Structure 1
Amino acid sequence: MKKLTAAILCIIMVLTLAACGGESGDALKGTWSGTHSDYGTVTWKFDGKGKCEMENDFFQGEGTYTIDGEQVTIKLELWDNEVVYDFSISGKSLNLTATDQLAADYENLTKK
């Protein structure tokens, strides 16, 4: 009986850890919003599966993203080229800094 109980507990622990790993695999997953000096209210949505949306006072678009370490590559449908951002998250605050110096940076976006 003890072996059966131990085996069941091990299975529960493995399943619990696997579930936790799925949630934390995409640090950007969720909705992030803030104010940009040129674009007004900006909202980024990352679905955790490679699809994203961005909306500001002048633009709304859908696209895709991939994460590699602390960089995210985003390609919105209406953009000519993909943009690579360095990203950092501190608590519920996200910063996206474009690596090409041409695209807009987004600072202090708050997770909703």
Structure 2
Amino acid sequence: MSPTPWNAFVSSGDSRIKEMMEEIKEGIYVTNVWYTRFQNYVTGDFSTIPRDGTFLLKDGEIECPIKEIRISDNMRKILLNIASLSHKKEQIYWWEVDVPVFAPHALIKGVKITKPFA
């Protein structure tokens, strides 16, 4: 048995997605993740793999697509580092969850990204 949110609700913010991107000097825009696994449910440590559209942002503009990265971080830290939320929510369907989530885009500072060495 493990904790699972079945009816997550995330409030909207007051930002437009374009405005949120313009705030980013250098960062990554992740549109979707999969294979999300918790290493520790108590502390919130997890890892996930971005897919379907992950882009390098420079000076608020999409520079190029990127691949082969992993997000390895902590849920509490992620929630504490939310800088802004979009006013528009998107309906998100996940392959292993029957009930969709409606959530805004989030600008999160200091997310730990790793990349495999070649």
Instruction: Specify the TM-score bucket, using the shorter chain as the normaliser.
Output: 0.3 to 0.5
- Structure 1 or 2, whichever has the larger Rg, is 1
Q: TM-score, normalised by structure 2?
A: 0.31
User: Which is bigger in relative contact order (C-alpha 8 A, separation at least 6)?
Assistant: 2
Give the TM-score taking structure 1 as reference length: 0.33
